[in-house]
Structure 1
Amino acid sequence: MDILYYLQTFDHFIIYLVASLLLFGLGTFLFKWLTPYSERDLIRAGNVAVSLKLLGKMAGLVVVLQSAIRSSINLIDLAIWALIAIVIQVVLHLIIEHVFTRKTNLAKEVEKGNVAVGLFLGGISILVGLIVAATISY
């Protein structure tokens, strides 16, 4: 094992880590910005449904970012694919949520603490993230 190799590439690890965390923060911010209620306040109040939904969104983003990291050939490639994937993830989540909200307002159900709805929407975000991640793997 050549420890010198790992020491020489450690800066790449740090750069990709910081870039990925910033992209994760951007994706999470977009999701929170589009949410009609304060997730932070509701989670502090003990709303498990909101926590599950947000956790699912974040997990879906991580899956997408993980795929972008593995598939990228450089930092610019990572940023481009991650941004595309984040936008696709957010748009698909909004579309799917709209499809399921034709007869009921799922956002209000989650806000009221409906754990089943929060878990369902969080799970949908993870599943969509897996699909999006698979499409950017080349």
Structure 2
Amino acid sequence: MDLTFYLQTFDHFIIYLAVSLVLFAIGTYIFKLVTPYSERAEIKNGNTAVSLKLLGKMAGLVVVLQSAIRHSINLVDLAIWALIAIVIQIVLHLVIEYVLTRNTNLAKEVEKGNIAVGLLLGGVSVLVGMIVAATISY
């Protein structure tokens, strides 16, 4: 095992980690912008449904970022793929949440604490993230 190789590439690890964490924060922030209620306040008040939904969104985002990291050829490529994937994931989530369930306001159900709906939407975010992640390749 050549320890010098790892020491020489450690800076790349740190840079990719920092950029990925920033992209994660940006994606999470954008998700919070499209949510019609304060997730922070709801979670602080003990709303498990909101917590499950947010956790699913974040997990789906991590899956997408992981794929972007694996398939990128440099930092610019990583940022471009990650931002495209974040936007696609948000759009698909909104389509699923609002268009396919026209007769039920799922956001209101989650805000009211409906754990089943929160878990479903969080799970859908993970599944959509997996599909989006699988499409990031060369």
* In structure 2, distance between residues paired with 1:110 and 1:130: 23
* In structure 1, distance between residues paired with 2:105 and 2:98: 9
* In structure 2, distance between residues paired with 1:32 and 1:48: 16
Q: Which digits, 9 at most, give the CA deviation of each residue in 1:69-103, with x for residues without a partner? A: 00011111101100100010111101110124311
Partner of 1:24: 24
Partner of 1:11: 11
- How far is 1:104 from its partner? 1.0
Q: Percent identity?
A: 79
Partner of 2:60: 60
Q: Structure 2: which amino acid aligns with 1:79? A: A
Structure 1 segments, 4+ long, off by >3 Å, are none
* In structure 1, distance between residues paired with 2:137 and 2:73: 12
Q: Which runs of 5+ in 1 are unaligned?
A: none
The answer on 1:104 being equivalent to 2:104 is yes
* In structure 2, distance between residues paired with 1:102 and 1:34: 17
TM (normalized to structure 1)? Answer: 0.98
TM (normalized to structure 2)? Answer: 0.98
The answer on 1:81 being equivalent to 2:81 is yes
Partner of 1:115: 115
Q: Which digits, 9 at most, give the CA deviation of each residue in 1:26-73, with x for residues without a partner? A: 000000011000000000110000000000000000000000000011
Q: Which runs of 5+ in 2 are unaligned?
A: none
For 1:31-46, list aligned pairs within 5 A. 31-46=31-46
Q: Which of 99-108 and 44-53 deviates more?
A: 99-108
Q: Secondary structure at the match of 1:101?
A: coil
